[in-house]
Chains A and B, each alone.
Chain A
Amino acid sequence: MTDATTRRERGDSEEFETIAEMEAEAGPGREGQPHGDDSLIGRFDRWGLSRFTAWDAVRAVALTTLLLLIFAGGAVRKAADELKPGLGRDVVKAVAGPAGWISDQLPFADTRRDLTSWLSPDQQLTGSGFEAGGVSPGRAAPVTPPPPSTPQPLERLLVTGDSLSTPLDIELARKFADQGAGVQVTRDPHLATGISNTGLVDWGKLSSTQAAEDDPDAVVLFIGANEGYPMPGSGGAQVSCCGPQWEAIFRSRVAQMMDNYLNGGAERIYWLTIPTQRDPARKPIADAVNQAIEGAAAERGASVRVVDLGPTFTPGDTYRDSIEIDGKQTIVRESDGIHLNEQGSSVAADLVLAAIDKDFDY
């Protein structure tokens, strides 16, 4: 008989008022005695569940997998394409490739799409996507409306991009809210996406859709964590990162996005450059992306402001985890050496606000 039982029989209820009651009942604190079944390990036996053989389990899971491959083999192949390069992706692709092919030959995938597409939370994208080869280098930039010469009221701000754009978007929204400004901040981060990779989302279409649906007065863009993918050149061949040809295609895509926002009604775009990242292998990508942004912005004059984060976060083009904020060294990067953390995003938001202040009243 446990001490707890003895105490209970004595009517000494105080000893059982805390979680220590369970200690006594379950016997976890008694040296040399096993824990009681406070974990309900035996619950499946107690419930009297039916038991089957191991091969029933294997067959059931195999059937699940088979049905998924038949009905969604194409989606599996697409998901495999979007994985980070590496052994894992190769293995998944080895399975997903044939699965996608089999699925393509059968009519079930279309049926599945027809029946379930209404459940998708994704926006229906409109407008033109990126074209192979981008805009030819000699072609003049399309005419976009000139920016107003005097500060305009800011009512709607769109903050978007890939994972770099969050928590920047949250920091900007908080700063506007703290000021009591009636600015409606739309936060629309698209994690894991890239301008050079249209697998998850085509930013050419997405920028058109955002401009039409959100109707922003200004757009803040911070994107570039997932770039460096090969892009189709004008002849259809894939162009690898990060030579002049890749940069030219990337620049034409950036320009297309800028024009989509400006022609869609936005008066200004604030496009943030990528600060130096910890991994030196990512430097050529970041350099090409930043040059493309600056080049495309220069063609659009004051309509596009480039917010250069380099001098603030990585002066001298040297990566660092921390910078001095209010006289104190503060960590501003995430542990991946790519993203800004909350403090860093707050600093970046201040830089964006300083630029917005010159162009808008709110």
Chain B
Amino acid sequence: MLFPTVEFAIFFPIVLALSWALMPRQPLWKPFIVVASYVFYAAADPRFCLLLAAITLVSQLAVVGIHRTDDERLRKWITAGGVVFDLGILAVFKYYGFFVTDVSDVLDSVGLGMPLPLATIALPVGVSFFSFQAVTYVVDVKRRQAEPASLLDAAIYLSFFPHLVAGPIVRASEFLPQLKEPRDPNRVAVGAGLTLIALGLVKKVMIADYLARELVDPVFAVPQAYSAPDAILAAYGYAAQIFCDFSGYTDIAIGLALLMGFVFPQNFNSPYRATGFRDFWRRWHMTLSRFLRDYLYIPLGGNRKGRFRTYANLMVTMALGGLWHGASWNFVAWGAYHGTGLSVEHASRGRLGRLFPGWLRWFVTFNLIVFGWILFRSQDLSLVGGYIDALTRSGPATLYSVPVVGAILLVIGLQLLPERPMEGIELRLGRLQPLFLGAALALVVLIVGATVPSQGVPPFIYFRF
């Protein structure tokens, strides 16, 4: 079920009302919210509910096993078993086809090929997110950073519908404590929730989908057919599109959770105002970058084993982080590109910051990030070459229009404004009366809905990941 759909518009008010009605009776609320979340997930494909249930059960078994023993060796083995199962599910459903075709080609070429049956496997929506959350549950309990939960709480944590299909990746230690007591019905951030939902809808439908339709999709589909002015604009357009698409989804998810009394971690913080790659990853998909840091980079040794090992760890972390986005070499290349950027910054030991003024660091970083999006958005590596050719080909500008250029400038420009005034606007909106905001949300939905083509709202980009 997508957020901006009729099904969800009917589903959510019913679930919200029942959720608060049952909240004081936790033995009723907990099964209710699990069932509601599974109904939400089943709308995509009911078969995948079994997968979600299997990950929940195995992770819970692992956590109980870890908690019951003090034998560190055994705890490690159980943790490894749980993590391998969670990531194994992800590997089979997401990377089997990639392994059988692309990777086996590479192995074949060095005489290590092995025949594997070709098969098309459907990618369960959200598997990349809930499998990672399952990993945080198992590992956080092993690290004694989270307490084991009941099976029901674990099921809520992994299936809670606002974050189920595309995050944010909420740590067990962030969510499970919120299940210990019923949420306080007198402290609901209604204004913030409704404002975030409205903002997310505008970002996704009015900006991201518009830019995709009018600019980005045509150019990235056939870059050979375009020249530099259009290719340059489309690269900036994609930077704006993917931000609005993914942060729009996140805004809606966080807003829905707030209305239900839950708080999710922040996932974006004006990423295009970053003045370096490290700064960018502190602002972009923050819950993924901290997952990669806590559960991959640091276990690999982080920066504690010498300079070259640090670079290697950064490259491995970012390349795997890239691969997480999709089973394709261009995502690996995108990750390696960011790994290189982080390594160069590390090697400079802060000299870059001292040598160059802030505006220049921002300018260079922003344009390097935009160039990286070309690797990310292109269908495959061969098309990256075609896109770079287009960037150097002179020709007419055919896709420039006031709304397109205006949308890109708006998205980038708003992130460069001082944070305080923006916070102030959010605060003032959040103080308005809920009924007024409810009516305003309806108005926003009506306006946003009028911009939806007859074919409906395209899925969020991160649903594919």
Contact = CB atoms under 8 A, between A and B. Distances in A.
Contacts of B298: 20, 23, 28-29
B312 to A, nearest CB: 12
Contacts of B379: 342
Contact of A334 (B120, B191, B304, B454): B120
Interface in B114-130: 118-123
Interface stretch (B155-163, B245-253, B282-290, B370-378): B282-290
The DSSP consensus for interface residues of chain B is: helix
Contacts of B397: none
B273 interface: no
Contacts of B6: 76, 79-80, 83, 92, 96
Contact of A68 (B144, B281, B442): B442
A322 interface: yes
Contacts of A95: 10
Residue among A20, A55, A62, A342 with max Cβ neighbours from chain B (10 Å): A20
Nearest to A77: B6
Contact of A88 (B43, B302, B438): B43
Interface residues of B, number: 98
Interface in B185-220: 185-194, 210, 213, 218
A63 B435 contact: yes
Contact of A14 (B258, B349, B438, B455): B349
Contact of A64 (B20, B118, B349, B441): B441
Given A19-B278, A321-B119, A40 B187 contact: no
Contacts of A43: 266
B120 A333 contact: yes
A6 interface: no
Given A40-B266, A331-B120, A122 B453 contact: yes
Interface stretch (A188-196, A212-220, A247-255, A299-307): A188-196
B145 A63 contact: no
A65 B294 CA distance: 41
Contacts of B266: 39-40, 43
Interface in B142-180: 143-145, 171, 173-174
B118 A321 contact: yes
A35 interface: yes
Contacts of B7: 83, 88, 92
A102 interface: no
A117 B451 CA distance: 9
Nearest to B118: A322
A60 B144 contact: no
A330 to B, nearest CB: 8
A316 interface: no
Residue among B20, B289, B434 with max Cβ neighbours from chain A (10 Å): B434
A13 B346 contact: no
A306 to B, nearest CB: 26
Residue among B190, B259, B310, B446 with max Cβ neighbours from chain A (10 Å): B190
A15 to B, nearest CB: 7
Nearest to A66: B442
Contact of B293 (A23, A31, A185, A190): A23
Interface in B99-125: 101, 118-123
Contacts of A40: 265-266
Contacts of A14: 349
A61 B11 CA distance: 12
A190 B455 contact: yes
B297 A20 contact: yes
A47 B419 CA distance: 12
B357 interface: no
A192 B282 CA distance: 39
Contact of A331 (B118, B143, B225, B263): B118
Given A28-B294, A41-B263, A49 B101 contact: no
Contact of A191 (B310, B434, B450, B455): B455
B294 A92 contact: no
B100 to A, nearest CB: 8
A59 interface: yes
A48 B427 contact: yes
A187 interface: yes
Contacts of A39: 171, 174, 265-266, 286-287, 290
Contacts of B450: 116-117, 119-120
A192 B427 contact: no
Interface in B2-34: 5-7, 9-10, 12-13, 16-17, 20, 23
Contacts of A170: 221-222
Contact of B188 (A53, A79, A178): A53
A92 B11 CA distance: 9
B189 A44 contact: yes
Contact of A20 (B17, B118, B264, B302): B302
B221 A49 contact: no
Residue among A43, A57, A91 with max Cβ neighbours from chain B (10 Å): A57
B57 to A, nearest CB: 25
A149 interface: no
A341 B451 CA distance: 29
Contact of A51 (B101, B122, B187, B451): B187
A34 B17 CA distance: 33
B446 A31 contact: no
B20 A54 contact: yes
A43 B419 CA distance: 14
Nearest to A178: B224
B229 interface: no
30 contacts: A13-B349, A18-B310, A23-B298, A23-B302, A31-B145, A39-B266, A39-B287, A39-B290, A44-B192, A47-B430, A49-B427, A52-B189, A53-B186, A57-B16, A61-B438, A64-B13, A65-B442, A68-B9, A71-B446, A72-B446, A76-B9, A79-B5, A116-B447, A121-B451, A173-B222, A174-B221, A177-B222, A185-B225, A330-B101, A337-B120
